[in-house]
Amino acid sequence: MDLSEKTVLITGIPAGPIDLANLQAERRLLGWTFSHYNHTKTIQMAMSHRFAELVGGTGVTVKVVYPGHGSTPMNRAMRVRSFPYVYRPIAPLVKPLAPIFMADLTKPARSGIRMATDPALEGVTGAYFGQDGRRRPWPSSVLDVRVRDRVWSLCEELSARTLGHLSH
C-alpha cells in the first residue's frame, strides 16, 4: 500500500457559513453555536475539497474525516469564553467530565487511520466522512465554488509569501 498518494485531513464539527472577509481571523468570530475553531475547520474542508478537484485523475486521493471528540490538551486548555454562547452554561460541567468520557484517544484516531488504510476506500477521493466512518454530505458552505476558489487563492498567496521568504 502506497500511503504517499493519500491525503487524509482531520476536521472538527463543521458548521455555518464561511466568511470570506474573515478567512484569517481578522475579526473576532463567536456566535451562538459557532466559533473560530468551527470556522477554521470549515475553511479547511473547502480547501480540501478544492485540492481534491485539482488532483482528480492523478492517482492522489483526498479524504476529510471528522473523528469525533477526544480529551486533548487543546480541549482541556479551552476557556469558557472560547465556547459558542449556547454552550457556555454547560461548559463548566463538561470540562471536568470530558477526560472521563473522552479519555480514550484511540477511538477518534481510528477513523483517520481507516481513511488511509482501508482497501475498500482505495481510490475514493473528494469525500467527507463522519466519525462513524460513513460518507457524509459536504456542508453547504463548502459546496460554494466561489468560496472554494477564494480559500484556495488565499492558500496560494500565503504559500508564495512563505516560500519566497525561505528561498532568500
Rounded to two decimals, the pTM is: 0.80
Q: How far apart are CA 10 and CA 128, in angstroms?
A: 10
Q: Is the dihedral of CA 87, 110, 49, 136 positive or negative?
A: negative
- What is the residue type of 96? P
Tell me the pairing of strands 6-10 and 61-65. parallel
Has residue 1 got a pLDDT over 60?
no
> What share of the chain has pLDDT > 70, as a percent?
89
Annotated domain spans of the chain? 3-166
User: What is the predicted pLDDT for the residue at 53?
Assistant: 95
166 SS3 class: helix
Work out the average pLDDT over 140-149. 94
User: What is the predicted pLDDT for the residue at 72?
Assistant: 78
Report the DSSP beta bridge partners of residue 7.
62
Among 36, 139, 123, 137, residue whose Cα is nearest residue 82: 36
User: What is the predicted pLDDT for the residue at 40?
Assistant: 85
Q: Is the dihedral of CA 85, 90, 92, 97 positive or negative?
A: negative
Give the max Cα distance, the chain: 51
61-92 pLDDT, tens per residue? 999 999 887 777 777 787 887 777 787 888 88
User: What is the predicted pLDDT for the residue at 96?
Assistant: 78
Q: How far apart are CA 94 and CA 53, in angstroms?
A: 39
Q: How far apart are CA 79 and CA 92, in angstroms?
A: 9
Confidence category of residue 3, pLDDT binned at 50, 70, 90: very low
